[in-house]
Amino acid sequence: MFCPTGCSGDVILMAQFHLFPDGPHPVAPFSHAVETDGWVFLTGQMPTDPKAPDAQLPSGIVAQTHQVMQNLKLILGKLDLDLAQVIQVRAYLTEFDRDYAAFNATYQSYFPQDRLPARTTVGVTALAVGALVEIDMIARRG
């Protein structure tokens, strides 16, 4: 059960923790998504292949961004959602200056121009499994 700070005794939000056996292999102890009160929080995904989690990562920011987005779409699909329900995105890039433009062009291809989620992009020093990009999302049912 989950109850934010300040809840009265009458308000309890039940959280559902989703981990899909055929989803991307987690690189740390986490769920693929957590859902509460119609909000769906997708864990940051890496550019790993769900069918071959130990395979070498795709080469370059464009290929890695496509793989991350495919992984996120896979998780959304398992939850009967798609990118149309995504309202917020956070992206992390290890080579921000070098990769930002190519990342944007690739990322943008997944959303209609008039329906872009709110987004924050952060430059970081490193990511798990040596990835160039990681993306997490928040979606809303309804």
Span 85-136, pLDDT tens digits: 999 999 999 999 999 999 999 999 999 999 999 999 999 999 999 999 999 9
The pLDDT score that the predictor gives to residue 6 is 54
Rg (CA), the chain: 16
pLDDT at position 28 is 85
Distance of CA 56 to the CA centre of its chain: 20
Average pLDDT score, the chain: 92
Domain residue limits, the chain: 15-140
| Overall fold of domain 15-140 | 60s Ribosomal Protein L30; Chain: A; (3.30.1330)
- Report which of residues 12 and 38 the model is more confident about: 38
Q: Are 72 and 49 in contact (CB under 8 A)?
A: no
Q: Is residue 2 over pLDDT 50? A: no
Residue with structure tokens 């995105």?
A: 89
Average of per-residue pLDDT across 2-25 = 73
Residue 85, helix vs strand vs coil: helix
Q: What is the pLDDT of residues 43-68, one digit of tens each?
A: 999 999 999 988 999 999 999 999 99
pLDDT, average across residues 26-39: 92
